[in-house]
Amino acid sequence: MADIPQLIDFSAAALDDAFASLRAEIKHAVAEPGFDADAFRLEWLGRKQGRLKQIGDAWLKTAPAEAKKLLGQRFNLLKEDIESAFSAAESGSAKSTSGTLDPTLPGASQRLGAEHPLIRTSAEIVSVFQRLGYSVALGPEVETDFYNFESLNFPPNHPARDTQDTLVLADQQSKPENARLLMRTHTSPVQIRSMLEQAPPLRLVIPGKVHRNEAADATHSPVFHQVEGLCVDTHITFSDLKGTLDHAMKALFGSSVKTRFFPSFFPFTEPSADVQISCIFCGGKGCRKCKHSGWIELLGCGMVDAAVFHAVNQRRIELGREPVYDTEKISGFAFGMGVDRIAMMKYGISDIGLLYSGDMRFLEQFA
Ligand code: PHE
C-alpha cells in the first residue's frame, strides 16, 4: 500500500496543491499501458483499505476544525473524479486516450447522405428546362389569397376554387379576403410574383412544395411538390407549348415517349389542356399501370389567360411600375406538373406516403 502523504498546512491553497497531486497520480495510473480497472478500483475505492479512505481518515484526524469543511468538499470532488476515470477506463475509452490504441479495430465510419428522391426528380425536371434557357424562380409557401387565387382569375366564391381544397391560416378574418394568408395550393402564384418583378421576355421554371386539404392515401398527400413553367414573349403560340412539353417529356422519360393534349380548364390559362404521355411501363400497349388505356395523364398547361396579364398590369400600376404585359404585343404559355407522381413512376414507388415517412429502409435505396 502506498504511503499516505503528510499534510501540515491546511489553508485552501495548500489543500488544492495536495489534491492536485493526488489527481495527477490517478491520471497517470489510468493512462498506464495495461491499466487494470479492477485493481484500480480496489486500490483507490476499497471501503476499508482503499487509499481514499485512508487518506481521508489521516487528514481529517489532524485537520483543525475550520479546515474540515474545505477538506470534505475536496474529497467529494476527488471521489467523483476517480469514479469517472474508472468508468471511462471500464468502457474502454480510457484505452484509446492512453496510448494503447488498437489500430486493427475498425474505425467509426461516417455514412454519406443521399439526395431525397423528390429533390432528385425535381432537380432533373428543372435541369431539362434550364437547358432550354429557363431560369429558376421561387416563391413562399405561405401565400395571400391574392397571389394564390384572385390574380390567377379565381374570383372569390368561384367554383374553380373547389378543385384546390385549401389550408388557411387561423385568425385572418379581420383582413380583406385577398390579403388573407393560406398555404399555397400550387406553384402558379410564383408566375404572378415573377411578372410583377420582371418585364417580358420571361422563361421561368418554378419548383416547390404545395399544400392541399386532402386525406392521405396511396396516391394523395396533403403536402406534395410541383414544377411550374412560364414562358412569355412576342409570338408565343400553342405550338411552342406543345413542342416544349413534348421535348421535356422525351428528355425525362426517353425519346420513344409520345405526348397528346386534351382540352381542359384552368382559370388562368385559355385555352387549357391536360397532357398525357404514352405509358412508360407498357409502351402504349395497355397495362394495369395505365388502366389499359396506353396513356398516363401527367400535367396541366395552357396559354396564359389575358385576365392574368391584366391583373399583373393592374398590380404593377399600384406598385408604381410600368404595365408592360401588353396583350396586344405579347403572349405566353404556362404548365404545371406533380413531382411526386413523376418520382413514383420513375422509381416504381407505389405509396406516396413513403416519400414523407423518413424511413431509412426506404431512403437508403436511393443512396
Ligand atoms: N396550377 C395548376 C394545378 O396545380 C397546374 C397548371 C399550371 C395548369 C400552369 C396550367 C398552367 O392544378
- The helix or strand, by DSSP H or E, that contains position 183, with its residue range, turns out to be strand 181-183
From 57-71, 162-176, 240-254, 323-337, the region with the lowest mean pLDDT: 57-71
Distance CA(165)–CA(20), nearest Å, equals 71
Using a 10 angstrom Cβ sphere, with 0-12 exposed, 13-18 middle and 19 or more buried, the burial of residue 69 is: exposed
Ligand 1 centroid from CA 119, angstroms = 20
Which residue has a Cα nearest atom 5 of ligand 1? 336
Lowest mean pLDDT among 92-101, 102-111, 257-266: 92-101
Confidence (pLDDT) at 367: 86
What average pLDDT does the segment 316-335 reach?
98
Stretch 92-101: mean pLDDT: 57
pLDDT exceeds 60 at position 270 = yes
- Average the pLDDT over each of 140-154, 155-169, 181-195, 230-244 and give the range with the smallest value: 155-169
Q: Which of 152, 268, 298, 303 to mutate to test the pocket of ligand 1 (most atoms within 8 A of CB)?
A: 268
Residue-averaged pLDDT of the chain: 91
Provide the pLDDT for residue 2: 60
Mean of the pLDDT values across residues 216-221? 95
Give the pLDDT of residue 96: 47
The answer to whether residue 240 scores a pLDDT higher than 70 is yes
What is the 135 CA–ligand 1 centroid distance (Å)? 19
Pairing, β 202-211 against β 135-136: parallel
- What pLDDT is recorded for position 22? 85
Label residue 291 by pLDDT band (50, 70, 90): very high
How far, in Å, CA of 163 to CA of 173, rounded?
22
Which numbered atom of ligand 1 lies nearest the CA of 230?
9
Ligand 1 centre to CA of 308 (Å) is 13
User: Are the beta carbons of 309 and 177 closer than 8 angstroms?
Assistant: no
What is the position in ligand 1's atom list of the atom closest to the CA of 210? 4
Q: H-helix or E-strand containing 227? A: strand 223-234
Cβ–Cβ under 8 Å, residues 223 and 211: yes
CB-based pocket (< 6 A), ligand 1: 186, 188, 228, 266, 269, 300-302, 334-336
Helix (H, G, I), strand (E, B) or coil at 129: helix
- Measured in Å, residue 238 CA sits from the centre of ligand 1 at 16
Alpha helices, DSSP H, located in 198-305: 238-253
